[in-house]
Amino acid sequence: MSDCLFCKIEKGDIPAEKVYDGDSVFAISDINPQAPVHLLIIPKKHYSTILELDEKDQELVGSVFSAANCLAKDYGLDQSGFRVVVNCGAEAGQSVFHVHYHLLGGRAMHWPPG
Ligand code: 5GP
Ligand code: ZN
């Protein structure tokens, strides 16, 4: 997708420090962090929303959680706890329509989220 922000970051057309770079997913720090640690785990392949993910993407989704667990340990969140969130669609607050998983940690989280 030529006009997609995360596709451009993945290709290196827009600079961003990759804190994780795997075969099928990468991760960056969120530009507007909502917690002391706020990372975005992003599939390299473009999917607009998680509605496009199904059984064919089992390996990809597994890779997302491998990255999340690896990063949680790297950032020292595995003992204290952390949250992995996906927003799907406008009412959920999705603003970038390239699937991404938020990894948030470093502070107490509230439930239900706002
Ligand atoms: P969403 O609202 O779609 O669930 O999450 C999109 C996230 O992308 C937001 O948390 C927002 O701060 C982040 N974001 C938007 N533009 C950029 C950018 O250019 N670079 C980075 N690193 N994050 C961005
Ligand atoms: Zn994209």
Domains identified in the chain and CATH numbers: 5-105 (3.30.428.10)
Average pLDDT over residues 35-55: 98
Which of the following is catalytic: 46, 98, 100, 110? 100
Inform me whether the pLDDT recorded for 1 exceeds 80: no
**pLDDT-based confidence at residue 111 (cuts at 50, 70, 90):** very high
pLDDT at 22: 98
**pLDDT-based confidence at residue 13 (cuts at 50, 70, 90):** very high
**pLDDT-based confidence at residue 35 (cuts at 50, 70, 90):** very high
Q: Which atom of ligand 1 is nearest to the CA of 85?
A: 4
Closest CA to 86 of 69, 106, 65: 65
Spatial distance between the Cα atoms of 46 and 91, rounded to a whole number of angstroms: 21
Q: Closest Cα to atom 12, ligand 1: which residue? A: 32
Report how far ligand 1's centroid is from the alpha carbon of 30 (Å): 6
Closest CA to 68 of 53, 85, 54, 80: 85
Report how far ligand 2's centroid is from the alpha carbon of 51 (Å): 15
pLDDT at 2: 80
Spatial distance between the Cα atoms of 103 and 93, rounded to a whole number of angstroms: 15
**pLDDT-based confidence at residue 8 (cuts at 50, 70, 90):** very high
pLDDT at 114: 82
Ligand 1 pocket check for 33: Cβ under 6 Å: no
Q: Which atom of ligand 1 is nearest to the CA of 87?
A: 4
Residue 38: active-site member: no
Spatial distance between the Cα atoms of 47 and 98, rounded to a whole number of angstroms: 5
